[in-house]
C-alpha cells in the first residue's frame, strides 16, 4: 500500500485558514512571490495553471497572478505528519516513510480486504487530522505508487498485475520508478513515450542503449515487476540546511556568520535524533548558478558544535568567497548513533 497525503502543506494551511478553500493557494519560501524561493506545494486549483513543486515563486505568480501565496511552516507540517504516521502505524508495523507526507506499508500479513483497509485508513487519517489521503494498493511498491496517483485527490485504487496493459501502459514513461529526465530523453530517441512503448521494445534494443542491469530494470518496470521490499528501517544519510539570499552576498564575514547559524540549527536536529556526524559539507551557488561543495571529515562521529563549526569554517574559506553568492548550504553526513564509542579527530 502507498499512502500519499494530497497537497499536504497546502492542506495543512487550508485547515488553519478555511476561507481559502477553493482558491489557488501556493506554499513556498517566505510566501512572497517578489522574493527568491520555490513552490513547495500548491492546491489543485493552482495546479491547473501549470504550477508544480520546485517552480520559482516568480514564475508561479506570472502563471497565476490571483493565487494566494503562503510561507512554509515546517513545525506545523511536522506536527500534522506525526499524527498521520500514528494512523499508519496502526495498520502495519512494516512501514517505510518517504518524506513527511507519504509512506509505503506492507499489508500482506493481513487477511481483510485491502480496499476495506484502505477505506478505513483514509477515514482514520481524516478523523485525526481533517486531511485527505490518496491510497494505492498493489502487489509491489511500483504498482502501489502508480495506483495512489491514478485517482488523486482523495483516491483509493487497487492495481493488480493483470491491470498493467490497460491502466499502466498508456501512462507516460516518466511514471515509472527510476525513469528520470535523462533516461526519458534516451528512451524518446528510441520512440518511447509511454510505458506501453517501453514494454514493446525488445531486450536487444534496450541493451544497445543502456547497461544490461538498467535495461533489465526498465523491462521489469514496464511489466509491473518490482522486487524492492518495504524498508522498515531507513538510515538517514545526511541532515542539512540551505538558504537562498534575496540579494547576492559578497561578504565573507556574513557568510561565516550565516553558516554558523545554519549549523546550530542542524546540530539541534542532529542531537534530537541522537546522532553524531563524521562529515561536514559547505555548498555555495554563485550568481551564474554554478555550484561548488567542499567537505571535511572526522575520524569518528560527533554532535559537538564547536568541533563541527571549525570544519564548517575550513570548508567555507576553501571556496572562492570574492564571487557573488546566491545560495549557502551546510550539511552533516556520515551519521552514526550518538552512543557510538568512536572518538572524533580530524582526517
Strands 102-105 and 2-5 turn out to be: antiparallel
Q: Which residue, among 133, 206, 214, 136, has the nearest Cα to 177 in the 3D structure? A: 214
Q: What count of other Cβ atoms lies within 10 Å of the Cβ of residue 78? A: 10
Question: Of residues 102, 227, 264, 342, which has the active-site annotation?
Answer: 102
Active-site residue flag, 102: yes
Who's near 31: CB < 8 A, 6+ residues apart? 69, 70, 71, 72
Please name the residue that has the C-alpha cell 505508487. Answer: 145
Q: Which residue, among 310, 297, 309, has the nearest Cα to 344 in the 3D structure? A: 297
CB distance 327 to 244 below 8 Å: yes
Who's near 155: CB < 8 A, 6+ residues apart? 134, 135, 136, 148, 149
The verdict on whether residue 101 carries a ligand-binding annotation is yes
Specify the 3-state DSSP secondary structure of 75: helix
d(CA 242, CA 53): 17
d(CA 199, CA 187): 12
Report the catalytic residues: 102
Residues contributing to the annotated binding site for Mg(2+): 4, 101
Residues contributing to the annotated binding site: 4, 101
Amino acid at each position: 500500500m502507498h499512502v500519499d497525503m494530497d497537497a499536504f502543506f497546502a492542506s495543512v494551511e487550508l485547515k488553519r485558514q478555511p476561507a481559502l478553500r477553493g482558491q489557488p493557494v501556493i506554499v513556498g519560501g517566505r510566501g512572497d512571490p517578489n522574493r527568491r524561493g520555490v513552490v513547495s506545494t500548491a492546491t489543485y486549483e493552482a495546479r491547473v495553471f501549470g504550477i508544480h513543486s520546485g517552480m520559482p515563486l516568480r514564475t508561479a505568480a506570472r502563471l497565476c497572478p490571483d493565487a494566494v501565496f503562503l510561507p512554509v511552516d515546517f513545525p506545523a507540517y511536522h506536527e500534522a505528519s506525526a499524527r498521520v504516521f500514528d494512523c499508519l502505524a496502526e495498520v502495519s508495523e512494516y512501514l517505510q516513510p518517504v518524506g513527511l507526507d507519504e509512506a509505503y506499508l506492507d499489508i500482506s500479513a493481513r487477511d481483510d480486504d485491502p480496499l476495506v483497509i484502505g477505506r478505513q485508513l483514509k477515514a482514520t487519517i481524516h478523523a485525526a487530522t481533517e486531511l485527505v489521503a490518496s491510497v494505492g494498493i498493489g502487489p509491489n511498491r511500483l504498482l502501489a505508487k502508480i495506483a495512489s496517483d491514478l485517482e488523486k485527490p482523495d483516491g483509493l485504487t487497487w492495481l493488480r498485475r493483470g491491470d498493467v496493459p490497460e491502466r499502466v501502459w498508456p501512462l507516460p514513461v516518466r511514471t515509472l520508478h527510476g525513469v528520470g529526465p535523462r533516461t526519458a530523453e534516451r528512451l524518446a530517441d528510441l520512440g518511447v513515450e509511454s510505458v506501453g512503448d517501453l514494454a514493446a521494445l525488445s531486450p536487444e534494443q534496450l541493451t544497445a542503449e543502456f547497461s544490461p542491469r538498467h535495461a533489465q530494470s526498465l523491462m521489469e518496470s514496464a511489466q509491473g515487476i518490482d522486487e524492492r521490499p518495504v524498508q522498515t528501517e531507513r538510515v538517514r544519510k545526511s541532515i542539512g540546511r540551505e538558504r537562498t539570499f534575496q540579494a547576492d552576498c559578497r561578504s565573507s564575514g556574513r557568510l561565516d556568520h550565516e553558516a554558523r547559524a545554519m549549523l546550530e540549527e542542524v546540530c539541534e536536529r542532529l542531537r534530537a535524533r541522537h546522532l553524531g556526524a563524521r562529515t561536514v559539507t559547505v555548498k555555495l551557488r554563485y550568481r551564474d548558478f554554478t555550484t561548488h561543495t567542499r567537505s571535511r571529515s572526522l575520524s569518528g562521529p560527533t554532535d559537538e558544535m564547536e568541533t563541527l563549526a571549525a570544519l564548517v569554517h575550513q570548508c567555507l574559506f576553501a571556496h572562492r568567497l570574492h564571487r557573488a553568492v546566491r545560495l549557502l548550504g551546510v550539511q552533516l553526513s556520515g551519521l552514526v548513533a550518538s552512543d557510538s564509542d568512536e572518538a572524533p579527530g580530524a582526517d
